[in-house]
Chain A
Amino acid sequence: MKFNKKDDGSYELDVTGYVCPHPQLYTLKCMDKLNEGMVMEVLVDNPSSVESITQACSGKGYTILDTNHPKAGVTAMKIQK
């Protein structure tokens, strides 16, 4: 698990290699730390976690700005608090 600051108000969380429940757990814990309006990009390679993160963001009212696949099996989700 790697949590890095990319820019002002922009963060990156790399949870590749992890299985459930860690990616969704770390994503929400890190999002909790952000201030309103900040953006975090999550890198995850566990398909079921992508589904859970999507649902959790919807429940929390976070916006998923973009979802793409930088390489096979990896999903990058840009989430705004």
Chain B
Amino acid sequence: MAEATSSSRNKIYALGVVGFLAILSILYYLAAPVYLYIVVYMWFGFLYGVLQQYGRFCFASAWRDLIMVKVPRMFVGIMIGLMTLSIISAWLFVQYPAFYHPSPIGPHELVGGLLFGLGMVFAGGCATGSLYKTGEGNMISLTVLLSLSFAQAIFVALPFFDTWMSKLSVTGPNSITDTTDPNYIANVFHWPKWTLVEKIFPLTEDQVNQGVHHSFWQNFVANSLLNTIVIAAILMIGVYIIVVRKNFLKRRKAAMTQSADGGEVKMGFGDEVAGFWSMISSSKRTTIAAVLLGIIAAIQVFTMSWMRDNYDFGHPPYAQGDPVEILNQTGNFGQVFALTNPNDPNSRPTANKDAAPTSWPAADPGDVTKGGRMFDPGYWYITTQEAMFAGWIMNGVLPQSITGDLKAPHVNEKVDPTTHEVVAPEPEQNGNRYFGNDNGLPKPWNSPALLLSFGLILGASFLALWNKEFKWKFPTRELFFYAVLGGTIMGIGSRIALGCNIGAFYTRAAFGSPGGWLFFIGMGAGAYISAKAVNYLANKKMAKQMEDMDFDIEL
């Protein structure tokens, strides 16, 4: 009876979470219909949270559990999700060719991935994994999230950040001071930006001018097959051979020998296939969640792109002449929110002003970039919005002498024409390229991507409550130390790689950017190092606790 009551109470709480989000959605809509865009982000976050909690879907365990406890379920799950998203994205690129702005490819991805991997094992979760675990009531994961957010915000606000980043990058072929160069923006960041389809099936200048885009099959062969499916399949086969095969064949042979009454049993290719399949199907919930996450991630791309078209977001008039303006208006993503003034239709920098919504109501100059945009990736993205959240708090709480002006566009940057090195601006002019120029620094409730993170936490809460898995868990001193250490290192890694396990690896690799794999390899190397450290500390802890115990087994 008590059990049934407790179960009903949990389900009521779970429904309460959905009710809360529904009311929040209505309030957003009442504030302005255009805020549906934010609401949709939030509900996609909810779906990610539900699926991640169901599948126990955390990228940290992909490498860590493989290395530490020889469990491949998450590694395999990620590869399956990646392949799913990648296949659908070949079609998405036909529908919305500009939905993905390729990230720069360079060694920063390897270095960032290494740090991220190093941190995630200590932290006990990746960026998105820590969000869903926070939704399970795990305040250790919340500690990780806060550490990760503030570490990013502080790191990018440091005066040497830009100089550091320019050293990590690959120098582009042209002078970055030549603002008439059509590759100016790529060159500013030094890194080449392309997806594999652009390299394998290059379009002529005429085709580009005529608005010709790659076909489904071109996208599929280059981005999906070569950049994702082949690599993911090779990695899965490698994991099967190294981690699963020996034990599986041993057990299978023993079972077959028994059923053959001790007769000789030969193992063949069919047994290898059975072993590979057992690896994929061993954790049904992880594999199911992986496929559904890939599908939902694709539906999000479609939905956000459709809404942008519908609202006429994302069609900035590319300013001519002023390089800073060009930089502001193209940005890294489909940064779609115009800084609008409802009383001045000319303030809307959209291609079709009449079709544009009357305003993005709560936007003010502090929310957006100099070009009038707000961070809006348009697909599953995690850490950047959290860094902006921390930056927003820092900007509000700390004196400007400490933070610099995080909101100010980074227009004072100077570049040495001989060495191509970025010369750090004067402290009083310390505008921040990361926040002010590229992303703006929106109020948390105005930031679509942050609402995705928020929805993700509550989606996980919903399912955890429904299934009676929700439990408040607070950090001990030991776990607090691990959480802060891991979160901080992950945060620094995320900024160097310009994304976390989702933005720098999952979507990047799925959308045809080979650099995503650099991040993944880096993650593996980092995870290996910290797994060794955690293992060493665990052994010490066990030995200390058990030294005075009286067991009938050898310890």
Contacts and interface: CB of A to CB of B under 8 A. Distances in A.
B7 to A, nearest CB: 9
A67 B27 CA distance: 43
Given A25-B68, A59-B71, A52 B468 contact: no
A52 B140 contact: no
B471 interface: yes
Contacts of A50: 56
Interface in A33-81: 33-35, 38, 45-48, 50-52, 54-56, 58-61, 69, 72-74
Interface in B519-555: 531, 534-535, 538-539, 541-542, 545-546, 549-555
Interface residues of B, number: 57
Nearest to A61: B251
Contacts of A26: 538, 542
A48 B64 contact: no
A21 B64 contact: yes
A43 to B, nearest CB: 12
A58 B248 CA distance: 10
Contacts of B244: 59
A74 B136 CA distance: 12
B133 A29 contact: no
Contacts of A55: 65, 71-73, 282-283
A68 to B, nearest CB: 12
A21 B121 contact: yes
Contacts of B470: 72-73
B127 to A, nearest CB: 14
B473 A19 contact: yes
Give the interface size bracket for A toward B.
35 or more
B273 interface: no
B546 A52 contact: no
A18 B124 CA distance: 10
Contacts of B406: none
B61 interface: yes
Nearest to A29: B542
Given A19-B140, A45-B473, A51 B538 contact: no
B224 interface: no
Looking at B56, B129, B285, B470, the one whose CB has the most chain A CB atoms below 10 A away is B56
Contact of A61 (B10, B247, B286): B247
Contacts of A58: 282
B73 A52 contact: yes
B125 interface: yes
A54 B26 CA distance: 42
A72 B6 contact: yes
Interface in B228-280: 243-244, 247, 251
A2 to B, nearest CB: 8
Interface string A8-20: 1100000001111
B471 A74 contact: yes
A58 B242 CA distance: 16
A9 B283 CA distance: 30
B69 A28 contact: yes
Contact of A33 (B60, B124, B531, B553): B553
A20 B124 contact: yes
B476 A20 contact: no
B471 A72 contact: yes
B546 A3 contact: yes
B545 A1 contact: yes
A12 to B, nearest CB: 12
A52 to B, nearest CB: 5
Contact of A21 (B68, B73, B473, B553): B68
Contacts of A59: 70-71, 243-244, 247
A61 B283 CA distance: 16
Contact of B61 (A52, A54, A61, A73): A52
B538 A56 contact: no
A46 B226 CA distance: 37
A45 B69 contact: no
Nearest to A28: B69
A47 B56 contact: yes
B125 A20 contact: yes
B69 A17 contact: no
A39 to B, nearest CB: 12
B440 interface: no
A20 B138 CA distance: 11
Given A17-B473, A20-B124, A73 B468 contact: yes
B141 interface: yes
A24 B138 CA distance: 17
B498 to A, nearest CB: 26
A48 B56 contact: yes
Contacts of B300: none
B469 interface: yes
B137 interface: yes
Of the listed residues A3, A21, A46, A51, the one surrounded by the most CB atoms of chain B closer than 10 A to its CB is A21
Interface string B128-160: 010001001110110000000000000000000
Nearest to B56: A48
Interface in B110-134: 121, 124-125, 129, 133
Given A51-B73, A52-B56, 14 more contacts: A19-B125, A19-B141, A20-B125, A21-B61, A24-B69, A25-B68, A45-B471, A47-B53, A47-B469, A55-B71, A55-B283, A56-B70, A72-B468, A73-B469
6 contacts: A3-B546, A21-B61, A21-B65, A52-B65, A52-B69, A73-B469
Closest CB pairs A-B (n = 10): A73-B471, A48-B56, A19-B124, A55-B71, A20-B124, A51-B56, A56-B69, A72-B468, A47-B469, A24-B69
